[in-house]
Amino acid sequence: MKFIALAIPLLVLASCCPFSLFSDTRTGAEPDIDKVCKPLVNKMAPGLQLDGELKVMGDWAFFLGDTVNDAGEAVIPAGAVSSDSVVLMCKLKGKWQVVDFGIGISDAYYIGWYEEHDLPEGLLEP
């Protein structure tokens, strides 16, 4: 029970984070995940990085993967319930910005994002 109680503050902090701090000034078609998400990951899971798949549809991008160490091994961040991580990004005024995210999440964390953000159909599908 102590482990689950630690996960809740991590997710609450993630929900309150000022997303505009995490942006990519590139104007390319695809966001640079490392650049866009590095400040976010450093804050939520210090010493770890993201590894996974990126899907881009128009001005929207969805990352689905894991928090990993330098050896590429999946690692559960302190206070989290898993290594699963998701990041939703949108290109605003030519810059990719994090719109929503979950680090060390449980299943279906992003299930409501279609309605919340009016996303293109299929963006959140593997």
Distance CA 45, CA 64 (A): 16
Residue 37 scores a pLDDT above 60: yes
> In the prediction, which pLDDT does 76 show?
96
Q: What angle do CA 76, 90, 82 make, to 5 degrees?
A: 10
Average confidence (pLDDT) over 4-21: 36
- pLDDT surpasses 80 at 17: no
The percentage of the chain sitting over the pLDDT mark of 90, rounded to a whole number, equals 61
| Residue 29 or residue 35, greater confidence | 35
Q: What are the pLDDT digits (tens) for 52-69?
A: 999 999 999 999 999 999
Sequence-separated (6 or more) residues with CB below 8 Å from residue 108:
none
Cα separation of 38 and 16, whole Å? 17
pTM for this model (two decimals) = 0.77
Q: What is the mean pLDDT of the chain?
A: 80
Measured over all CA atoms, what is the biggest interatomic distance in the chain, rounded to whole angstroms? 45
Q: How far is CA 115 from the centre of its chain?
A: 18
DSSP state of 9: H
pLDDT of residue 28: 54
Give the pLDDT mean for 6-22.
36
At 97-120, the pLDDT tens digits run: 999 999 999 877 898 999 999 999
